[in-house]
Amino acid sequence: MNDKISGFQLYSISIFIIFATAIIYEPRHVIEIAQSNGWILVLLSGIWGLLLAWLYSQLIKRGQTGFVPLVESLMGKWVGRLIILLYLVFILFHCALSLRLFTDFVISVVMVVLPISVLVAALLLASAYIARQGITALAQLCQILIWVNSIFALLILLAVTGQVDWNNLLPVLPEGILLLARASWKHTYPYTEAFWMVLLVPFIHDKKRAGIPLLVSVLFAMFWFSSFILLITAYFNHYLAGIFTFPAFSMVRGIYLGEFIQRLDALLIAVWINNIVIKTSLLLFLFAHTGADLLRLQNHRPLVLPGTLIVAPLSILIFDNVAQIQNFHDQLFHLVLLFFTVVLPLVFFLISLWKRGENRAQKMDSHTTCS
């Protein structure tokens, strides 16, 4: 069975995981900080994102047989295993958090009376089924849905364009770009989600050229984020946009073109449902696959169900209310994510460079001794 994923599939998965939850909560956060220049802030953050995509592509090149062997070889067997264990815990937490962020959106504004447990169960059942099918099925699904999402998102953006007031984007950079550049690192975290592609190493068809789909996915994510935030700000102005919990959703609800094009919220919700199902499936698959590697299991499938059973109650119990969610998302989440997707990968990369240098030196020594 061919279980390799192509460059386009890698790009599709990467953009899905970058977008899934960030598009729901990040616009408000960015607009609150950068006001009418939020769209520039996400572009600046994207530059960090491009650098990180390069870092991840280097790790993919080095981890030929998989993420677990790579970490074990770099950090030693036991420290490596401990780090992998931390990653497994974080993947489950991240999966539960993403699910909660999305379900909270749905229950806040779409299906208010629906018990959260029912929605979580429905989404997790679908995601667990996809995760059990394996990465090939997931990649094929992404390959199809990326077109659906892109077309829907483009339609929404085009429809909004006719109703915006471009003056709301003024003034542009009133205090210079440096102030925004300083704040940009904090908003890099959506792009750091591309790190999860490193855990897919054994399945990537062309590891040497994996950097291209990763870089392209970050570039496209920059385009989409920036466009959405630009139009949200132009549509509402930054005072009002910063008050909405889900500004993208509020903007789409306001579309009213030609007296008949309206109520496009269904398109946005469809896009977001696709996003969250893909993200949850991928995180469940990564947990099962990495866990199976750590436990030296032949197959990832036995670990999908336990992972699902942990994520379900965790996603419901993790927060009591929307204020706690926002507080955590705005204050802490990026730090936790940056630790796992920037700090640790950077350490792996530096150690790999150091070890490679050491190997070269040893080879040179042995060559000199022989001659």
Partner 1 sequence: MLKKWTAILLAASLGLSAGCWDRQEVEESFVTIAAGVDTCPGNKLRFTEQIPLPPPEAKGKATRTEKTAPTGPSFVTISTVADTFTDGARKVHLNTPRGPLWQHAACYVFGENFSRQGFAGEIDWLQRNRQIRKIGYVFITRNATVSEVLKVPTEVERIPAVALVSMIKNQDTSLGIYTPIKLGDFLGQSITPGIEPTAPGVEIVEEGGKKRLRISGTAVFKQAKLVGWLNEKESRGYRWLRPTMIIGGTKVIKCPICDKPVLLDTLRSTSKIKAEIKDGEIIMHIKIREEGNFYEQKCRHQLVTPEMIPILNREAEQLIAEQVRAAVTRAQELDSDIFGFGQALHSAYPREWTRLEEHWEEVFPTVKIELDVQSEVRRSYLTTRTLEFRY
Interface positions with partner 1 (CB under 8 A):
104, 107-109, 112-113, 115, 239-240, 242-246, 249-250, 320-324, 326-327
CB contact at 8 A, 276 and 21 = yes
CA distance 22 to 297: 33
Report in angstroms how near the CB of residue 216 gets to partner 1 at its nearest.
34
Pick 321 or 369: Cβ nearer partner 1: 321
Pick 250 or 308: Cβ nearer partner 1: 250
CA distance 371 to 363: 12
Report in angstroms how near the CB of residue 42 gets to partner 1 at its nearest.
21
Report in angstroms how near the CB of residue 91 gets to partner 1 at its nearest.
26
Cis before residue 171, ω within 30 degrees of 0? yes
CA dihedral for 354, 49, 283, 30, sign (positive or negative):
positive
Pick 1 or 323: Cβ nearer partner 1: 323
Pick 173 or 322: Cβ nearer partner 1: 322
* Residues 6 or more apart in contact with residue 165 via CB below 8 angstroms: 234, 235, 237
Report in angstroms how near the CB of residue 243 gets to partner 1 at its nearest.
5
* Residues 6 or more apart in contact with residue 81 via CB below 8 angstroms: 72, 294
Report in angstroms how near the CB of residue 116 gets to partner 1 at its nearest.
8
Pick 263 or 356: Cβ nearer partner 1: 263
CA distance 56 to 195: 6
* Three-state secondary structure readout of 284-343: HHHHHHHHHHHCCCCCCHHHHHHHHHHHHHHHHHCCCCHHHHHHHHHHHHHHHHHHHHHH
Pick 136 or 326: Cβ nearer partner 1: 326
CA distance 156 to 235: 13
Pick 219 or 240: Cβ nearer partner 1: 240
Pick 225 or 249: Cβ nearer partner 1: 249
Phi, psi of 300 (to 5 degrees): -80, -20
Q: Measure the CA dihedral 336/338/342/347, to 10°.
A: -40
Report in angstroms how near the CB of residue 324 gets to partner 1 at its nearest.
5
For residue 172, the 8-state DSSP code is S
Q: Determine the residue type at 163.
A: Q
Report in angstroms how near the CB of residue 325 gets to partner 1 at its nearest.
9
Q: At what angle do helices 211-236 and 22-34 cross, to 10 degrees?
A: 60
Q: Measure the CA dihedral 8/54/338/249, to 10°.
A: -40
Pick 185 or 244: Cβ nearer partner 1: 244
